[in-house]
Structure 1
C-alpha cells in the first residue's frame, strides 16, 4: 500500500493511527448510547459504520478518501468495543468471569485469517492493489456479522430491568434460556433507583471512592497493552520482513507464525486468569513482554534464526495470555451494570489513545532511531504497567463482593428489580 499510494512514513503513521484517534471520542459516545438506547442498536450502528468505512477505503481514489474511510472505521471500533464486552459480561455467569478473555483468542484468529487471505489474494497476481482486496474482505465479514446480529442479537435483560421494562426483560430471558419467564406482578416490584439517568455525574463515579483504584488498574492495563501491541504487534509484517527479507510471502508467513502464538495465548488467557487472577496475570504478562522487548532491542539482528523467530512469538504469547485480554475484562467486571458501559467507554478511550500513540510513534521512531532503539524505548511501557499492576490489589475475579451488589452503596442494590421464572 505504501508503494501503491507513494506514502511517506508520516502519512503511514497518520493513516494507521487515525481510526484509534477517532475511537477516543466514540468510545464514551458508545457507552452513552448503550446506557440510553440499550445494547443492540449501537452494535448494529457500529457494524454499518464499519462496512461504510471498509468500502470507502477499498475504492478510495486518493489518500484523503482513505483517511475518510478510516474515520468511519474508528467510529465503529469505538462504539462496538465500548458495548460488546458489557453485553458479554451481562450474559456470563459470575463463576465464569475469566471466560470473557476468550475474545483475545478470537482477535488473533481474525488477524491470522487476514494474513491467510492476503497470501491468497497475492496468488491472484493483483500486485500493489493487494491492500484493496484485504480491506474489501473486511467489508464482506462486516456485512455477514451485521446480518447475524440482526437475526440473533438479544437485548440485555439487565439493561431492560434497570429501565423498568420488566416485560421486555422477561421476553429477552425467555429467548436466551429457552424457558418461560414473566415479569413479577406490579404489587411485588421494588422501586428502581437508576443512577444511569445522572449522565456525566454517573460516569464521574468511576473516578471516586472504591472505584478509583479499579479505574487506574483497568486504564493502566488497557493503555499499556494498546501501546505495546499497536506499536509492535501491529507492525509484525514489517518486523518479519526485517528478519526474513523483503519478499512478501516470506514476511507474511513469518507474521502468521508469530500471530498463531496469539491464538494460543488468547485461548489460554481464561485459564491463566482463573489461576492467577486478572491483575497478577497482567502484571506478570507485562513483565515478560518487557523482557522480550529488551532482548529485541539489545540483540535484534545478532540472534540465530531460531531466536529471531522465538522472541517475537513469545512477545505475542505473553501479551495475549496476560494484559492483551485483561484490559477490557477488568473494566467490564469492576463496575455495576449501570456504570459498566460508561466505564468501558471512558477506559476504552484511554486505551484508544494508547493504540493511537503506538501506531503513530512506531514508524516515526523506527525512521528516526532505528528498529532496535525503538524496541528499547517502548520497553518502558510494559515495565511501568507491570509495577502499577503489582501495586494495586483489586481483582474482580478474587473479590468476594459482586460489583452489582456493593455493600457500601445500597442505592445501587441489584435486587431492586425482580423478574421471576414461571414454567
Structure 2
C-alpha cells in the first residue's frame, strides 16, 4: 500500500470486490458510487454503527450526572456556584470541542479525528469515577465535553458519507439515526440509575454517581478495540484530497465495489480540498450557504433550548410539579423518553425519505408549540385529570422533538454543506447549539423558580422561532446531491 493510500485508513475486514471493474476518473466519481450504489454495504453499515456509538457516548455522558449532581454537591460540600461549574463543565468543553472538531474533521480526515476523540471519553470517564475533589471532577467533565464536541461533526460526516443519496436509508435517514441513538443512551442512563439505586446498599449510595460516570468508558473501549478491523476513512473525503487510490480501496472493502483508478485519472483535489482550514468557517456565511446556515442555526438553537429546558428538566417537573417520589420520577422520565422521544426518532428515520426534513421539522415544532401552550394553560396540576393532561403534553412535546427538530437539526446541519465544508458546518452549528444548551440549563431553574408554570410561555418562544425560520427559508436537504457542489467549478 502506497503512502498516499495509507493516508486514508482502510478497514482490515471487508467484502471481496465482485463484478466488472468500475473505473474512477475523478473525485466526483467516488461520490456518485456512494450515492447510487446498490451493492451490499455490510462493512459500510458497521462503520455507521460505530459512528453512532460515538453519538451514544455523547448523549450518555451529557445526561449521566442528571440524577447525581445532588450527591456530588453533598459529598464535596459544594457551594451553589461550584455545583453549577461541575454541572456545566461538560457543556463548555463541548462548545470548544465542536469548533475544533469541525476544523480537524475537514483538515486531517474523519478517521483520525474519530479515533482520537475516543480516548477523551475513556480518560475523562475514569477520571470522573475516581475524582477526589470538585476540581478534578470539573476538569474531567470539561475534557469529556471536548470529546463530545469533537465527536458529533465527525460522526455526522461518517453517516452522510457512507450512505446513499435517495430511497429508503438515504443520507437524511442515516443522519436521523443519531436521534433514537441519543434517546436510547439517555434511557440507558436512566435504567442504570434505576438498577444501581435498587442494588446498592444504602451505606454506599455515594458510589452511584461515580459508577454511572465511569461506565461511559466501557463503550469507548469497545470502539477502540474494534476500530482497526472495521473503521475506514470516508472515501468521499479521501477522493476530495486527490487520494483516489485510497478511496478505491475503501469502496472495495466497505461496499464490495470493484473500484479501480483509471490511468488518466484527475488526482487534483476538489474545489476546497486543498485548502481546508479555519477560513472555511467564513464560507458558511457567504453565498448560498448563508441562508442554509441561518436556517440550520435557528433550528438547532431553538430545538436545543426547548428540549434541554423540558427533557433535562423532566425530573424537576415530575417531582416538583407533580409531587412524585424519586423512584416514580425516574420511571416516568424513562417511560416518556422511550415511548415518545425514542419512538419519534424512529419515525423520523422511516419517513424522512418520503416526506423530507422540512415538513417533518415543521410538524414537530407545531406539536411542541401546542404542548408548551397546554402546559402553560394547565399550570400546576392539583388533581389526577390535570396531572394526566400535563403528562400528555410532555409526551406530545417529546414526540414532536423526536420526529421533528430533534432528528433533523442534524440533517440540516450536515446536508446543507458538501464534503469539504461538512465538518466546519456541523462544528459551527454544534458550537452555537451547545451555547444554547448552556444558557437553557442555566436559565430553566431560575425561570422556573420565578415564573413557576408560566415558564412554559417563555419556552414556547423557541418552537415558534423555529417555525418562522422554516416558513421564511424553505430549504429541503433530503435527497439533494449536496456533494456535487464541491465539483461545480471543475
TM-score, L = length of structure 2: 0.78
Q: Once superposed, what is the RMSD of the aligned Cα atoms?
A: 2.1
What secondary structure, in the 3-state scheme, does the structure 1 residue paired with 2:249 have? Answer: helix
- Tell me the equivalent position of 2:148: 77
Which residue of 121, 124, 135 corresponds with 1:50?
A: 121
Deviates more, 1:371-380 or 1:91-100: 371-380
Count residues in correspondence: 407
2:419 pairs with 1:337:
yes
Q: Is the 8 A contact 1:51 1:139 kept in 2?
A: yes
What does the per-residue CA deviation read over 1:377-421, in whole Å, with 9 as the maximum and x for residues that have no partner? 22111111211112101111265xx222249x733x5xxxxxxxx
Deviates more, 1:126-135 or 1:239-248: 239-248
Q: Is the 8 A contact 1:56 1:66 kept in 2?
A: yes
Report the Cα distance in structure 2 between the residues aligned to 1:294 and 1:61, rounded to whole angstroms: 45
What secondary structure, in the 3-state scheme, does the structure 1 residue paired with 2:477 have? Answer: coil
Closer, same or farther in 2 for the Cα pair 1:149/1:370, shift >3 Å? farther
Residue 181 of structure 1: how far off its partner (Å):
2.5
2:436 pairs with 1:361:
no
Q: Is the 8 A contact 2:242 2:270 kept in 1?
A: no
Q: Name stretches of at least 5 consecutive residues in structure 2 with no aligned partner.
A: 1-67
Which residue of 190, 201, 209 corresponds with 1:115?
A: 190
Closer, same or farther in 2 for the Cα pair 1:313/1:14, shift >3 Å? farther
Q: Is the 8 A contact 1:285 1:319 kept in 2?
A: yes
Report the Cα distance in structure 2 between the residues aligned to 1:253 and 1:50, rounded to whole angstroms: 28
What secondary structure, in the 3-state scheme, does the structure 2 residue paired with 1:220 have? Answer: helix
2:312 pairs with 1:230:
no
Closer, same or farther in 2 for the Cα pair 1:133/1:174, shift >3 Å? same
Which residue of 99, 102, 122 corresponds with 2:177?
A: 102
What secondary structure, in the 3-state scheme, does the structure 2 residue paired with 1:182 have? Answer: strand
Q: Is the 8 A contact 1:13 1:364 kept in 2?
A: no
Q: Name stretches of at least 5 consecutive residues in structure 1 with no aligned partner.
A: 414-423
Which residue of 414, 433, 448 corresponds with 1:351?
A: 433
TM-score, L = length of structure 1: 0.90
Task: List, as ranges, runs of 4+ consecutive aligned residues in structure 1 with deviation greater than 6 Å.
Answer: none
Structure having the higher helix fraction is 1
Q: Is the 8 A contact 1:157 1:172 kept in 2?
A: yes
Q: Is the 8 A contact 1:44 1:150 kept in 2?
A: no
Deviates more, 1:295-304 or 1:7-16: 7-16
- Equivalences for 1:42-191 in 2 at 5 Å? 42-95=113-166, 96-99=170-173, 100-125=175-200, 126-185=204-263, 187-189=264-266, 191=268
Closer, same or farther in 2 for the Cα pair 1:286/1:11, shift >3 Å? farther
- Tell me the equivalent position of 1:27: 98
What does the per-residue CA deviation read over 1:120-147, in whole Å, with 9 as the maximum and x for residues that have no partner? 1111234243222211221222222332
Report the Cα distance in structure 2 between the residues aligned to 1:200 and 1:66, rounded to whole angstroms: 31
